[in-house]
């Protein structure tokens, strides 16, 4: 400003500047006075005005998300914002209420740039029971400087995580009736600040799986459970089922880690077995009228399916030729077949043989738990056929006769039997006197099969008894049979006496049932010597009649002629 008289003293005052939109002037500088104007020179004075952009705003919005059906979350979520130009930190808090959302607005100096939002994790609300906070995700504000009175936004998303646990149940067999299986769950939440509750608010630590009759599997799914939780499941021993037995209850399953958005699983298998049932086997020994009593142990075996197994037992037969025994059998045994152990049964009574046993087999249906089934064995006794017996006689001299008795075992039904025992009995007719020392009993055949055990007369020498064994022979001619016993003895009779001698035989243990007889006799008087011509005529006469003469017979005939 000029001209001003040299030496003048001046004062300058500034008027407030006009407003600038979105900016604010600072205080207008006060007047500058005592400014002395020098001659030929220019004096100066200065005014500085402060102009600042009006603050902008940062709006931070928050959203909480999670699996379907997650519960509402309320509370205050603190956060900080770190910016440049100026370098400064700002803090705020978003209050979340209904709808799992909320937002907060911060005033920020104009020009603020590169702002970064960070949630204060330790101070946020605890996650709902059964959920865990995952790391938040951010949408950061625009990094450009914030215009004067401008706006910028950022977001924070807080994910809730949870999973579930499935308990699987398997029973080793179809349940005979409905059953319920009880479990206890124990879970530890992952370590966090604030602390997390592992199980959801509506989740019970007691869980059950109900299975219907006939079922073998089932399951129950438990959730929500906070992700990262470690769980343990313990089963309670199931209730008893009549006629069945549970195996050992499976031990607790632990260290089950719950995943995010997925289901962990654990399994329990219970063994159920039907209580054993019983098989009662009865035995009856049959035979012809009057057959002897049989006693002893008759072993047998039983072959079954489901399970495929064999079982053994023995029936003790005592009085009445009957007996029974009971075997324990696994439930479910089916198609059981009884077979007698033929080689180990008692020997048949003397004079008898075992016929093939007949069976009444048990019901082929599976044996019910603790059920019963029956079977029967009938052992028929058949009498052995007695030996064949033949008897021959010859005259030794006028008063001495010799008898030969031969017995053979050639009955076809006896072919499959071990050697049969036999008895020969011969009661001497009246008037016959046994010749001491004349008795012989000779076995012919295989040693150990055909043999003589006893051979002799009673003390009065009136009754002969011979016992032994006879091996089977298919031969039909006694005198030449390969297996035979020949019994030879002599006796004396009065002159002129004719006697009928009968010998009988039977299988040991039976009554005599097969006999052979022979008629023989001695001369009545001595026969005088005859002229050779007379003898020749007589011989020709007898030959023409077809007779075969024995010495004794010729003499008898001659005696008749002489009379």
Give the integer Cα–Cα distance in Å for 270 and 540. Answer: 109
In CATH, what class is 388-521?
A: mainly beta
Give the integer Cα–Cα distance in Å for 369 and 25. Answer: 101
- Are 286 and 381 in contact by the 8 Å Cβ rule? The answer is yes
pLDDT recorded at residue 85: 85
The three-point CA angle 295-299-300 to 5° equals 135
* pLDDT per position as a tens digit, 418-447: 799 999 999 999 999 999 999 999 999 999
In CATH, what class is 161-274?
A: mainly beta
Give the C-alpha distances (Å, rounded to integers) separating 11 from 36, 43, 45, 69, 132. Answer: 9, 11, 9, 77, 72
* pLDDT per position as a tens digit, 37-81: 888 888 899 989 888 878 999 999 999 999 998 999 999 999 999
pLDDT recorded at residue 556: 34
- Are 301 and 310 in contact by the 8 Å Cβ rule? The answer is yes
- Are 58 and 154 in contact by the 8 Å Cβ rule? The answer is yes
User: 277-382 has which fold?
Assistant: Immunoglobulin-like (2.60.40)
pLDDT recorded at residue 66: 93
Q: Which residues contact 540 (CB under 8 A, 6 or more apart)?
A: none
Return the percentage of the chain with pLDDT > 90, whole number: 71
Give the integer Cα–Cα distance in Å for 380 and 319. Answer: 16
Half-sphere exposure of 322 (CA within 13 A, CB side): 3
Which residues partner with 440 through β-bridges? Answer: 488
Paired tokens of 93:
């808090």
Q: Which residues contact 47 (CB under 8 A, 6 or more apart)?
A: 12, 14, 29, 32
DSSP string spanning 167-208?
A: EEEEESS--SS-EEEEEEEEEEPPP-SS---SB-TT--SEEE
* pLDDT per position as a tens digit, 107-165: 999 999 999 999 999 999 999 999 999 999 999 999 999 998 999 999 999 999 999 99
* Burial tier of 471 (Cβ tally within 10 Å: 0-12, 13-18, 19+): buried
Q: Identify each DSSP E strand in 28-150 by its residue range.
A: 32-36, 51-53, 56-65, 75-84, 88-96, 101-108, 113-119, 132-133, 137-139
Common-topology check for domains 277-382 and 388-521:
yes
pLDDT recorded at residue 539: 47
- Are 180 and 239 in contact by the 8 Å Cβ rule? The answer is yes
Q: What is the mean pLDDT of the chain?
A: 89
Give the integer Cα–Cα distance in Å for 112 and 99. Answer: 32
Establish whether the linkage from the previous residue to 518 is cis, with ω within 30° of 0: no
* Average pLDDT of the residues in 272-285: 96
In this predicted structure, the answer to whether residue 21 has a pLDDT above a threshold of 90 is: no
* pLDDT per position as a tens digit, 456-501: 999 999 999 999 999 999 999 999 999 999 999 999 999 889 999 9
pLDDT recorded at residue 482: 96
The domain locations on the chain are 161-274, 277-382, 388-521, 532-562
Nearest to 298 by CA among 319, 277, 313: 313
Nearest to 472 by CA among 557, 381, 409: 409
Residue that is written with structure tokens 């020709």 in the block: 540
* DSSP assignment letter at 548: P
SS3 per residue for 288-341: CCCCCCCCEEEEEEEEEECCCEEEEEEEEECHHHEEEEEEEECCCCEEEEEEEC
């Amino acid at each position: 400003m000029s001209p001003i008289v040299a030496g003048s003293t001046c004062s300058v005052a500034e008027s407030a500047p006009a407003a600038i939109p979105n900016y604010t002037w600072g205080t207008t500088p006060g007047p500058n006075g005592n400014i002395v104007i020098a001659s030929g020179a220019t004096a100066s004075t200065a005014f500085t005005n402060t102009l600042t952009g009006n603050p902008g705003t940062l709006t931070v919005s928050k959203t909480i998300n999670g699996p379907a059906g997650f519960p509402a979350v309320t509370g205050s979520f603190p956060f900080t914002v770190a910016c440049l130009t100026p370098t400064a930190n700002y803090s705020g808090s978003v209050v979340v209420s209904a709808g799992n959302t909320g937002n907060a607005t911060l005033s920020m100096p104009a020009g603020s740039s590169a702002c970064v939002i960070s949630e204060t994790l330790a101070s946020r609300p605890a996650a709902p029971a059964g959920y865990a906070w995952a790391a938040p995700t951010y949408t950061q504000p625009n990094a450009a400087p914030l215009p004067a009175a401008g706006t910028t936004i950022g977001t924070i998303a807080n994910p809730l995580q949870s999973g579930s646990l499935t308990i699987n149940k398997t029973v080793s067999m179809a349940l005979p009736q409905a059953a319920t299986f009880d479990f206890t769950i124990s879970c530890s939440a992952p370590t966090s600040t604030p602390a997390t509750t592992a199980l959801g608010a509506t989740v019970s630590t007691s869980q059950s799986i109900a299975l219907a009759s006939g079922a073998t599997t089932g399951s129950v799914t438990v959730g929500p459970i906070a992700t990262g939780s470690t769980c343990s499941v313990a089963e309670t021993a199931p209730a008893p089922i009549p006629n069945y037995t549970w195996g050992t209850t499976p031990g607790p399953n632990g260290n089950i880690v719950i995943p995010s958005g997925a289901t962990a699983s654990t399994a329990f298998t219970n063994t159920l077995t039907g209580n054993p049932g019983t098989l009662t086997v009865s035995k009856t020994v049959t035979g012809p009228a009057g057959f002897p009593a049989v006693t002893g142990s008759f072993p047998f075996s039983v072959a079954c399916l489901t399970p495929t197994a064999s079982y053994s037992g023995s029936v003790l037969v005592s009085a009445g030729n009957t007996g029974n025994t009971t075997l324990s059998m696994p439930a479910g045994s089916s198609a059981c077949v009884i077979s007698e152990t033929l080689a180990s049964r008692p020997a048949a009574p003397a004079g008898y043989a075992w016929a093939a046993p007949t069976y009444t087999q048990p019901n082929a249906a599976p044996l019910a738990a603790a059920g019963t089934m029956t079977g029967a064995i009938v052992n028929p006794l058949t009498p052995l056929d007695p030996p064949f017996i033949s008897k021959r006689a010859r005259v030794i001299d006028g008063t001495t006769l010799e008898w030969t008795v031969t017995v053979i075992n050639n009955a076809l039904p006896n072919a499959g039997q071990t050697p049969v025992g036999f008895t020969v009995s011969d009661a001497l007719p009246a008037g016959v006197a046994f010749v001491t020392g004349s008795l012989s009993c000779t076995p012919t055949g295989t040693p150990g099969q055909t043999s003589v055990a006893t051979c002799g007369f009673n003390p009065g020498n009136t009754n002969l008894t011979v016992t032994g064994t006879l091996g089977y022979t298919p031969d039909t001619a006694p005198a030449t049979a390969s297996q035979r016993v020949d019994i030879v003895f002599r006796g004396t009779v009065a002159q002129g006496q004719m006697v009928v001698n009968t010998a009988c035989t039977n299988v040991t243990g039976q009554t005599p049932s097969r006999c052979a007889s022979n008629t023989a006799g001695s001369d009545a008087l001595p026969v005088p010597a005859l002229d050779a011509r007379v003898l020749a005529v007589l011989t020709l006469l007898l030959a023409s009649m077809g007779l075969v003469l024995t010495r004794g017979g010729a003499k008898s005939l001659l005696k008749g002629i002489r009379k």
